[in-house]
Structure 1
């Protein structure tokens, strides 16, 4: 089947718009299909007279600020749309989709993190997201750097496993102190109280956390 130039341009315009977005926001797109879509995108800039592309594809994929057209990589867009579900899981309160996931996998509805994994019993959607967060994956490092907990809803954020300092959770940054904590999974709201406009911490430990040294003054 051969398409004339006008039909090809209409197809390219359709493919470059929103048709693949729903698929890529739920499923991991096969590499072969991503290459086909990018091939159609590249053909839009093909010069038939000179029998070559008018401009390098890498240049077109750069942002407009850097001299490109801001055309997204299909695979990167696919990963970004899938990763956004993790952001939505943290950001949104109790939408129906989150309540279904929490009920199915036994995750507390107030939790900010969902332990993604690829067990055989899990759904295809969960396995796809679990693959993105495998140890050493680029998407995992991007999430660790880009996502953070903003306090103000203390009943949702867990102190030790979710609050970060210099890119590490408190339980990772202070493992010895964490081992002494009597409440390791409590929310921030459970470790203090408001006294007027001031927040007063009260973190319980199994024994006093002191090195025994005395200071003068």
Structure 2
């Protein structure tokens, strides 16, 4: 068992304090939820103009910017783990990277095709 697992469990000798990494990821996921829902007012308009520039959140690979933006980019894996996709018109779903088909990204199901694709961030 990982020693960090016991750090937040008082029954196993921990202090009952959750790890800061887990807390940070949880808080950042809450902000991501607001971004995906379009619930943000002026701060969301700023993010959309500065970083997203018309792209879906997970299609944006810009890794420079504010600490807030870098934190969002750093938890992309955690974001993808919890998402379910509704394709709609396909303008916000990445063909290769998002788990829109049977809950698994096509890049994992067809790795040889993904290896030769020209644009891995292409939208459905």
TM-score normalised to structure 2 length: 0.56
Q: Does structure 2 conserve the Cα–Cα contact (< 8 Å) formed by 1:165 and 1:173?
A: no
Change (3 A) 1:112 1:123: closer
Q: Distance in 1 between matches of 2:110 and 2:100?
A: 11
How far does the alpha carbon of each residue in 1:89-137 deviate from its partner, in whole angstroms, 9 at most, with x for none?
Answer: 32327843333113212x24351414363x3xx112123334445xxxx
C-alpha displacement at 1:165, in angstroms?
Answer: 4.1
Structure 2: unaligned runs, 5 residues or longer: 1-7
Q: 1:123 aligns with which of 16, 41, 66?
A: 66
Change (3 A) 1:174 1:88: farther
Aligned pairs (5 A) from 1:8-157: 57-58=10-11, 73=18, 75=20, 76-92=22-38, 95-105=41-51, 107-113=52-58, 114-115=60-61, 117=63, 119=64, 122-133=65-76, 140=77, 142-152=78-88, 154-157=90-93
Aligned pairs (5 A) from 1:138-217: 140=77, 142-152=78-88, 154-165=90-101, 168-178=104-114, 179=116, 185-186=122-123, 188=124
Structure 1: unaligned runs, 5 residues or longer: 1-37, 39-55, 62-70, 134-139, 189-217
RMSD: 4.0
Q: Distance in 2 between matches of 1:103 and 1:165?
A: 30
Q: Specify which structure has the higher proportion of strand.
A: 1
Q: Specify which structure has the higher proportion of helix.
A: 2
Superposition misfits of 4+ residues, deviation over 3 angstroms: 93-96, 128-133, 152-155, 163-168, 175-182
- With a CA cutoff of 8 Å and minimum separation of 6, indicate the structure with the bigger relative contact order: 2
TM-score normalised to structure 1 length: 0.37
